[in-house]
Chains A and B, each alone.
Chain A
Amino acid sequence: MHGRLKVKSTAQQEEQKRQEREKKLKIFVAVRDACFSKRKEGIWDDEALKLTQQVLSSNPDFATLWNYRKEILMHQETVKEKDEVQTIYGAELSFLESCLQTNPKSYGSWYHRGWVSSRMPKPDWARELTLCDRCLSLDERNFHCWDYRRMVVKMSGVSVDQELAFTDRLIGSNFSNYSSWHYRSTLLPLLHPESPEPPSPCLKPAQTSPPPSPQTHSHRVCEEQLLKEYELVQNAFFTDPNDQSAWFYYRWLLGRAEREDMISCVYVSRDEERVAVAFSRPVNAQSVGLLLVLDGQPQRVEWRSVHPRFKHSPLWICDLPPGTISDISYEHNLTVHWTEKHIHRDCALYTGRTESYCRDSAMDQELFRSELSVEKTSVLQSELQSCNQLQELEPLNKWCSLTIILLMRALDPLGYEKEMLAHFQTLREVDSMRSAYYSDLCSKFMIENTILKMEYAEVRVFSISDKNLTTLCHLDQLLLVTHINLSSNQLQRLPPQFAMLQCLEVLEADNNSIENLEGLYHLPKLEEVLLKNNKISTLADLQPLASCPKLKRLDLRGNPVTQIANVESELAELLPAVKDLLL
């Protein structure tokens, strides 16, 4: 019958494939060996280029051979004319293109391409950019390509607004692409920097933008552009509220300005002849050039953190030479210099006073409100409205609830406290896998609120009982607190940072789950510790208390440790100064 087709059987096909593979392997090994021996002999000729090309085209991740090729090419540079070199590099680029086609995520090929492009006498950056865009259109998350593209953009000086348009395009085709959003976040501050005070509309941003430097708050974006970005990102999260890319970008947009470096508090105590200095961020006092001047005289003092564990700490203390300030009838003037930053803070210790401090309060620093840097309140208000709108439609969306909390905190942390707690409750329910995270975050916000309340009341008493605290934070802000009440929470430990409460006299922490007292370390004024109904189980756990010289009263009722035999005598030995012990 009319030429009927016969199709090879599977066995035939398999056999043929196997033979082909074997043949390929033989060739591969032979060529590889040839390359190695040539390299050993130091031959950098065209044949070597051909041989390595053969191997690399089937395995582009052969780093040794790429290096060999680099050697060859560098050698060619020395012996050939410039035009020829250009041609050779051009050929290298087309070869690399074929390698990238086989494996678009080959480290070797991309790296080599970068090397070739930067060495080429006359690189064609436009072509490279097109290549990148093509690769990204096939796989928008190819980070090799993103990396290479960054290099190309830098080398060829593509304008920032062109790049912003590029991210527009990528986000338009698929907004679940954090690479593009992130790239956007690096471009916007360059294109639309936050205008200096007083705010002026950012016209012609590209021309007038000052060169970005780490000193200026260059990662901020001017308000006009911010509004556009809010709109863009809202479109994304309303379209798909479960896509985290948009939410992360939104958080960046709402994000906080970095706090300025400053000495936030200087505290001096006559009794202990001690100075404590609090910084706006953790520093290493030994290396930042901290200088203490007392009554005009620079002092040689030893700075130490509150706990040996901290090399970086927001709080540093030093002891003055004995007798320097102990006479209560003298007035003293202290200055602490942060020489590295040309910052200093003065503090006067008046006659008759046993202690003194000088500081900016959390309110002065807009500490917790600046968690989301304060744009115009109305803008944040309308953002909150649209999030609430989304929340109504998507009551179970965690990103939305979380963002609402952040917006509320930016607007009015105390006023929204009740709503915030409700949202946290929702979050723990809808995202139970992360309930501990939400509890910690909620603890943090509650502590911030309590600090604010304390500051408004201008007292040195910090009371936060029965708030389901699971963790303690912002302890550096509690340097001056004399009385702390943490009763009826869910704390498991007093962390080493607790030792920053240098003025603490009374600690109430009944009804928690505390097992560890690490943070009660060298607290010079601590007299009373109430730890009823906790989970302290061994005498060793109580060891840190021995370092607190003034401890008089200790309540350990309802702790497992009280069940130990001879506990009384053991404790008397461990803490001889404690007169009032409740077991």
Chain B
Amino acid sequence: MAAEELPSEFDVVILGTGLVESVVAAACSRVGQRVLHLDRRSYYAANWASFTFNGLLTWIQQHHEESQSEEVQDRSSLLEEGEELIYLCNSDSASISNLQVFCYTRETHEEEEEEAPTPDPDPVDTTEVETSADGDNGVKETSETVSADSKEKETKDEASDEKEEEQSQAPHTDGEEPETAQPQPPTAPSQSEPVRKKISYTHLVKEGRRFNIDLVSKLMFSRGSLVDLLIKSNVSRYAEFKNITRILTYRNGNTEQVPCSRADVFASRQLSVVEKRKLMRFLTSCVEETEEQQVYNGRPYLEFLRDQHLGDNLQHFLLHSIAMVTEDTPTEVGLTSTRHFLRSLGRYGNTPFLFPVYGLGEIPQCFCRMCAVFGGIYCLRHSVQCLLVDKNTNRCKGVIDSRGQRISCSHFVVEDGFVSAERKKVATPPRSISRAVLITDASILPSDSDQQVSMVTVPPIAAGSPSVTMVELCSATMTCAPGTYLVHLTCQSVGSAHEDLSPVVTRMFHTSESHDQDERPSVLWCLYFNMADGSAAQVEGHDLPSNVHMCSGPDGGLGHEHAITQAQSIFDKILPQEDFCPPAPNPEDIIYTEEETKKEGVEEEEEKETTKEGEEEEEEEKTNEEEKETKKEKEEEEEEEETKPLKEE
């Protein structure tokens, strides 16, 4: 905590460091606004954050504890004439629910495989780690076993049973879990067969720093609004990106590669030459809007595809993997998302997607960094307690921070989690996203390279189930330890995350410790949770002063369109005349006049002085993750873009 007081006057105060808030912060700071950017949490990026494995365990722990809300201090003493207070709520735990953790690997694997299976009839029990299996059947939450403060050291906390009450929303009984999660009867581990080297839980914890586990799972469309913004604003220089190397789909019990680029179609072994031609023809033809397509407006996309006589293979690929829509999506929507996919194809590689190295949590931080470079002030673990509202104008004049300091501002931007429910206008019924995070020991579709980054579309596996988007990250993305894969599953919630996603997980992965002849990758550890769908929160129509702008959390979509559009519209409301994130100047064109005074608790961003001649790329230090180094990759990509003709168009 900063010992010093903050300046008491800002143009824009922003609470919450999610993507929308961070983009707004960068945009305002860039055009000369004085920005104070706060977050109550100890980490950046709110529900957009990435955590190390241990960090994630801490996060899980915190979410179990958050029910005790802090006592709200009365700040009415700070009120001036004609002012009133709006208290913010200080808990954002409402956005996360149904947290469940399962561990399918042993604590350690020093012992050899020949150890006898435990006599317990329940197979999953043998896979339990950490928590003592004292009599409980089935899978238990293991989150409570992780201490909140230590990254290195795990302390067992047996006294957290009361947290289980929080799970009441998840209508599962412990005993049921294993049955659904375990289609085969438990088998004793056999000694003879060659077994993939099992990775123990201890190993995961030990290698925990190598993980960067995103709370949201999204990809960047190569021609999506986020990539455009990163390039336009030069924020791209703060991060490094990797291509998604392949698009997969789960179909008839198999995982298949979806040929979408020209090179994929050429190389595909599963398509006949005629199918290849039909697919290419369809892909090139649907880029243009035609009258033929308009005839299908309002009718399902599936119907349109059927009438193209493409055959089942292609129809599946086009509907689920390329358009990524459901069978009853109207044709015009299906075509729009097909075009969006195709536009992004071939810009940076053979798939339309990019993924930031070190995880998506990097992106909000990159924008924060840009904000800080242009003078924005950052405080974590520092919140706003209430807003000061002018009774006459009903405008927010300023805020009172968590330390009781009065800070004036002309605009206040806030993450929706901090606004109390009664002031918010939310879509009914509230929508949410079901998420699962798995750490596995093998790729879902092994190939020549073990460093594939895959996007997998899983169509509804039963009537009424959601269609699931899965992203499998390899260690080259710096999001998981070598030898492991990090798998993110996302869908629109129908039930709890576990209800929605565990059927997919158990079909596609091996979820017990028994070593039967199973080709599928084994899940070592997994987490299920639900997150409020940011696209359900509405930006307009809240009971808030007009200069208070609410930002929603992550939405369930694959891209970032929702967040970027929202950020831009907030910026346009604050500064209607100003350019949104114009290109930042090159570091060498920046003149440093005064010694920057550093404040404790205020994270300053420094651009290295350009003392060397030439176009040496400046090395940059990460602000929060001290060991990571980011390279400037995006600029190279931009060059690449110039030199590589875009093949798909």
Q: Which residues of A contact B (CB under 8 A)?
A: 1-8, 13, 138-139, 172-176, 234-236, 238-241, 386, 389-390, 393-394
Which of B266, B373, B593 is the one whose CB lies under 8 Å from A239? B266
Looking at B212-220, B269-277, B460-468, the stretch in contact with chain A turns out to be B269-277
Contact A3 B597 (CB under 8 A): yes
Contact A1 B281, beta carbon cutoff 8 Å: no
Q: How far is the CA of A380 from the CA of B596 in the complex (A)?
A: 78
CB distance from B592 to the nearest CB of A (A): 8
Chain A residues with Cβ below 8 Å from B377 are: 2
B643 within 8 A of A: yes
For the complex, is B13 an interface residue (Cβ under 8 Å from A)?
A: no
Q: Are A241 and B266 in contact, with the CB atoms below 8 A?
A: no
6 A-B residue pairs with CB within 8 Å: A2-B7, A5-B592, A174-B647, A234-B273, A238-B273, A239-B265
B577-598 vs A, Cβ < 8 Å mask (1 yes, 0 no): 0000000010001111111110
A interface footprint on B5-36 (CB within 8 Å = 1, 0 otherwise): 00100000000000000000000000010100
CB within 8 Å for A3 and B281 given contacts A8-B591, A139-B643: no
Judging by beta carbons under 8 Å apart, are B597 and A239 in contact? no
Contact between chains at B590 and A7 (CB < 8 Å)? yes
Which residue in chain B gives the minimum CB-CB distance to A238? Answer: B273
Q: Please pick, from A8, A13, A138, A175, the residue contacting B266 in the complex, using a CB distance under 8 A.
A: A175
A394 to B277, CA, bound (A): 9
Which chain A residues lie closer than 8 Å to B32 at the CB level?
4
**B596 touches which of A3, A235, A390, A394 (Cβ 8 Å):** A3
Residues of B within 8 A of A174 (CB): 262-263, 647
Whole-angstrom distance between the Cβ of B27 and the nearest chain A Cβ: 15
Q: What are the 8 closest A-B residue pairs judged by CB atoms, nearest first?
A: A238-B273, A3-B596, A238-B277, A7-B585, A239-B266, A238-B276, A6-B591, A239-B265
CB interface residues, B 266-300, toward A, < 8 Å: 266-267, 273-274, 276-278, 280-281
Given contacts A3-B594, A4-B375, A239-B280, contact A172 B274 (CB under 8 A): no
Minimal beta-carbon separation of B614 from chain A (angstroms): 11
Binding site for A on B (CB under 8 A): 7, 32, 34, 262-263, 265-267, 273-274, 276-278, 280-281, 373-375, 377, 585, 589-597, 643, 647
One of B262, B274, B589 near A393 (C-beta < 8 A): B274
Min CB gap A475→B, angstroms? 41
B592: which A residues are within 8 A, CB to CB?
A: 3, 5
Q: Which chain B residues lie closer than 8 Å to A8 at the CB level? A: 585, 589-591
Cβ-defined contact, B278 with A240, below 8 A: no
A138, A240, A241 pick with most chain B CB within 10 angstroms: A240
Given A1-B34, A172-B267, A239:B594 Cβ within 8 A: no
B274 adjacent to A7 (CB under 8 Å): no
Residues of B within 8 A of A139 (CB): 643
Contact status B276-A239, CB under 8 Å: yes
In Å, the complex CA distance between A7 and B594 comes to: 14
Tell me whether B373 and A5 are in contact (CB under 8 A): yes
Which residues of the other chain, B, contact A238 by a CB distance below 8 angstroms? 273-274, 276-277, 280
Residues of A within 8 A of B585 (CB): 7-8
Residue of B nearest to A243 (CB): B262
In Å, the complex CA distance between A5 and B589 comes to 10
Smallest CB-CB separation from A2: which chain B residue?
Answer: B375
Known: A175-B266, A240-B262. A6 touches B276 (CB 8 A): no
Query: Are B278 and A239 within 8 A (Cβ)?
Result: no
Cross-chain contact of B597 among A2, A389, A390, A393 (Cβ < 8 A): A2
B34 — nearest CB in chain A belongs to which residue? A1
Q: What A residues does B277 contact at CB under 8 A?
A: 238-239, 241, 390, 393-394
Asked, given contacts A6-B591, A8-B591, A389-B274, whether A239 binds B262 with beta carbons under 8 Å apart, the answer is yes
Q: Which residues of A contact B278 (CB under 8 A)?
A: 393
- In the complex, A235 Cα to B262 Cα: how many Å? 11
Min CB distance B215 to A, Å, is: 32
Contact A175:B263 (CB < 8 A) given known A5-B374, A6-B593, A7-B591: yes
User: In the complex, what residues of B have CB within 8 A of residue A386's CB?
Assistant: 273
Starting from the known contacts A4-B32, A6-B591, A174-B263, 10 additional A-B residue pairs (CB-CB under 8 Å) come to A3-B595, A7-B590, A8-B589, A175-B262, A235-B273, A238-B273, A238-B274, A238-B276, A239-B265, A389-B274
Known interface pairs A1-B34, A2-B7, A175-B266. Does A240 touch B280 (Cβ–Cβ under 8 Å)? yes
Which residues of the other chain, A, contact B267 by a CB distance below 8 angstroms?
A: 172, 235
Contact between A5 and B375, CB atoms less than 8 A apart: yes
Task: For the complex formed, measure the closest distance between the CB of B600 and the CB atoms of chain A, giving whole angstroms.
Answer: 14
Instruction: Please report the C-alpha to C-alpha distance between residue A468 and residue B314 in the assembled complex, in whole angstroms.
Output: 45
Q: What separation, in Å, do the CA atoms of A176 and B262 have in the docked complex?
A: 10
Closest to A394 in B: B277
CA gap between A394 and B278 in the complex, in Å = 10
Which residues of chain B are near A7, meaning CB under 8 Å? Answer: 585, 589-591
Please report the C-alpha to C-alpha distance between residue A393 and residue B262 in the assembled complex, in whole angstroms: 18
Smallest Cβ-Cβ distance to B30: which chain A residue: A5
A393 CA / B277 CA spacing, docked (Å):
8
In the complex formed, the residue of A with least CB distance to B377 is A2
Chain B residue, CB-CB nearest to A235 = B266
* Residue numbers in A under 8 Å from B34 (CB-CB): 1-2
CA distance A394 to B375 in the complex (A): 60
Residues of B within 8 Å of A236, CB to CB, are: 266
In the complex the two chains form, what is the Cα distance from A172 to B274 in whole Å?
19
Smallest CB separation, A403 vs chain B (Å): 14
In the bound complex, how far is the Cα of B373 from the Cα of A175, in angstroms? 45
Q: How far is the CA of A289 from the CA of B141 in the complex (A)?
A: 97
Closest chain-A Cβ to B318's Cβ sits at a distance in Å of 16
Measured CA separation A139–B589 after assembly (Å): 32
Of residues A5, A8, A235, A386, which shows the largest number of chain B Cβ atoms within 10 Å of its Cβ?
A: A5
* A2, B597: Cα distance in complex, Å: 7
Contact A13 to B262, CB < 8 A, known contacts A1-B375, A172-B267: no
With the chains together, A3 CA to B280 CA distance in Å?
55
Do B274 and A173 touch (CB < 8 A)? no
Chain B's closest residue to A173 (CB) is B263
In the bound complex, how far is the Cα of B589 from the Cα of A1, in angstroms? Answer: 21
Closest A-chain residue to B265, C-beta based?
A239
